[in-house]
Amino acid sequence: MVKALFLDRDGVVNIEKDYLYEIEDFEFIEGIFSLCNYYQELGYIIIIVTNQSGIARKYYSEEDFNKLSTWMVTEFKKNNIEIKKVYFCPHHPDISGECFCRKPNPGMLLDASAEFDIDLKNSIIVGDKERDIEAGINAGLNETYLYDETNSIKSSKATKIISKLDEIWK
């Protein structure tokens, strides 16, 4: 069994912009590479779990999403970080009906756990929305971090609310 660092994408890996799918709009958040390096050194595998309802809404295609993911994973690699897999939920309940993968549901984390034999209890999730935290809790994680750069979120089920990514490991 292996521990995982689960990362939400928009708002954790890259600066949140509505329905982002173009490489030129993708800006990495400060501290994301150091965070990944730290946990990678400790033996955690790194997995991205992202809701992408823009696909259901037809704002961009699955192919657009995959193209951006391939580029993003290469950028991580340049920083000596291996992203094991990018799981995404292309659905939206109003358009494609309820699904088990859209956070706060734990489907993506459970799929990852089955695929890579992950010890969920001892894994970590970092998200910028409460639904990321809930997905972690629903999957049985004990350690969850809510990243809120603006310091405006007052309460959360998260282990800790952080305003800088390095607060998790420093």
**Residues 6 or more apart whose Cβ sits within 8 Å of residue 111:** 87, 101
- What 3-state class would DSSP assign to 47? strand
Grouping H, G, I as helix, E, B as strand and the rest as coil, residue 160 is: strand
Q: Interacting stretch for Zn ion, rule CB under 5 A, among 34-42, 57-65, 96-104, 145-153?
A: 96-104
Tell which one of 9, 84, 91, 103 touches Zn ion (CB under 5 A).
91
Q: Which is nearer to Mg ion, 34 or 53 (CB)?
A: 53
Taking CB within 5 to 8 Å according to partner kind, which of Zn ion, Mg ion, none is near residue 89?
Answer: Zn ion
For 7, 20, 94, 100, 137, the CA distances from 59, given in Å and listed in that order, are 23, 9, 15, 22, 30
Contact segment (CB under 5 A) with Zn ion among 5-13, 16-24, 82-90, 126-134 equals 82-90
For Zn ion, the closer CB: 96 or 122: 96
Q: Taking the CB of residue 47, how many other CB atoms lie within 10 A of it? A: 24
Residue span binding Mg ion (CB under 5 A) among the ranges 102-110, 111-119, 128-136, 154-162: 128-136
Question: What are the residues binding Zn ion (CB under 5 A)?
Answer: 89, 91, 99, 101-102
